[in-house]
Structure 1
């Protein structure tokens, strides 16, 4: 016989799905996918599936660059939210947490809830939940308590944002989860801001690590807001772009095979050439500062020859003293 609270949860979901709410509510649409597409039962009391040790290791290896890129940001995010009973999870594109931060005092509780590395939180497996639904809808979202599909997860509050790799493809999700009943809406909103900021830092660090020999420039957007990052080789050709830059400039993989001049890409934006020159000027000035004015060392740090570096100095009206 079902517990009364479970029965109420199931009735609420079935009633919403039977109505017309799915056309207007992303949450009900996810509940509908959970029932109709994935054939899940909201009253199912079994916990999440768990990968074997070797399976988890392979999942971590596939995401190795991004995991390494995320370490500092995971630490900073946990420092911001860990003191109020939250844990931080980095999940792969299959919804499997591959890295985690949490207070040792809370480990037993979170492990019992399945908020642990190696568990499977895809929407196909767990129905509507922060990690799985974020990966399906590819947007920042919060699944708060009884918004979860499974009644057994209705004590959780999960705020999750998608992470895209250096090629602009969906690669992972960053999640902050809590099982505290007193988590306020205001604090959930603050968590969402912190998660968004952490995702931007992770994507930027991952992009820089993916193009270690390139200059990474902040690309101006034709619209308001930043256009993301682009990687430029020593010939000033664009060889990489973040998802934000790809969306801002309509870039595809074929555009990034070493034949697109950075100046041509950015000239279409407001003040594009001037902004590109400003970005290049900043890169060169920082290289000179780090090398204490040593031109050879500065050029080497940017993957340029000494002659190319001097040409850039002349073109940007700089000198080694600056």
Structure 2
């Protein structure tokens, strides 16, 4: 099979792609498929043309400096995870991208020998991969739908992107808000379904690692508590202060435990957030704490403020302890 024949086939596929997208949308299939719903947004909401052959939009240097400055805490937290992910997939001709919440690539990893190719594809710092700009694509559609996904070759909206396969996962900041996306993209023609699945799993795991690291950096003085089964979600974390109040929760923990900003602001005890029922050694510790509080109250003749001062806690903290330690009183 000659290279010229392969190239002619590729051009034929590209010529048919925009017609296939239009036919799918004219058939009213958008309601039956998440992919075609994204194609519909690309065409009807964002006014894009699948046949458009222009280059990927790129920010100016000034705009890029502002984006990088705003993303700096998350980018710093992501470095180790980006390196590990690149070590896992870079040798297979893949590019690793970290974007902000608007789909702008702020950091990347790829082999030097592949840089020219990836720059030509728009897989470079400053490139804008939002769905509003590029139509259906891994990064933009992940951010639009707030879920991990893979957009494989001709699932892309723009014809110019149909040689790419992109696996992407959302990344949340320390407040549980969508802050960006982690993506692995490649233009390899010999990708198997199994390899794509492995890439997608590695991307999701790396994204959760970035979230956990960013969370720990945001709450350096708090005690970090795993909120759930570590085999299911090692990124479901709570930050707990010295009064055993929740001061932060990752996105995974918020989803698992129903934690909101309002509950945190209302001084949420970690025990309540976790729904713990004391037993065994924990029950013994609670009994010991109850004895300390009772002795402090006895020495202060029942004066809660004086007892709190003797224990080195605030009156409000002691009041919460009294409620927790004597739930039926």
TM-score band, normalised by shorter chain: 0.7 to 0.9
Residue 227 and residue 173 in structure 1: after superposition, are their counterparts in 2 closer, same or farther (change >3 A)?
A: closer
CA distance in 2, matches of 1:177, 1:275: 50
TM alignment of 1:208-219, pairs within 5 A? 208-219=216-227
Corresponding residue for 2:151?
Answer: 143
- Please report how far the alpha carbon of residue 5 of structure 1 lies from its aligned counterpart in structure 2 after TM superposition: 3.3
1:199 aligns with 2:174: no
Corresponding residue for 1:175?
Answer: 183
Number of aligned positions between the proteins:
275
Corresponding residue for 2:91?
Answer: 83
CA distance in 2, matches of 1:273, 1:90: 42
Q: Secondary structure at the match of 2:227?
A: strand
1:185 aligns with 2:198: no
Give 5+ residue unaligned stretches, structure 2: 1-10, 286-310, 314-329
Residue 16 and residue 108 in structure 1: after superposition, are their counterparts in 2 closer, same or farther (change >3 A)?
A: same
Residue 196 and residue 72 in structure 1: after superposition, are their counterparts in 2 closer, same or farther (change >3 A)?
A: same
Alpha-carbon contact 2:29-2:36 (below 8 Å) kept: yes
- Please report how far the alpha carbon of residue 4 of structure 1 lies from its aligned counterpart in structure 2 after TM superposition: 4.2
- Please report how far the alpha carbon of residue 7 of structure 1 lies from its aligned counterpart in structure 2 after TM superposition: 3.1
Alpha-carbon contact 1:220-1:227 (below 8 Å) kept: no
CA distance in 2, matches of 1:232, 1:225: 18
What do you get for the CA RMSD once the two structures are aligned? 2.2
Give 5+ residue unaligned stretches, structure 1: 281-305, 309-322
Corresponding residue for 1:59?
Answer: 67
CA distance in 2, matches of 1:67, 1:36: 34
1:20 aligns with 2:28: yes
TM-score, normalised by the number of residues in structure 1:
0.81
TM alignment of 1:1-322, pairs within 5 A? 4-220=12-228, 228-257=236-265, 259-266=267-274, 268=275, 272-273=277-278
After superposing the two structures, state which structure 1 stretch, 102-111 or 4-13, moved more. 4-13
CA distance in 1, matches of 2:64, 2:210: 21
- Please report how far the alpha carbon of residue 227 of structure 1 lies from its aligned counterpart in structure 2 after TM superposition: 7.9
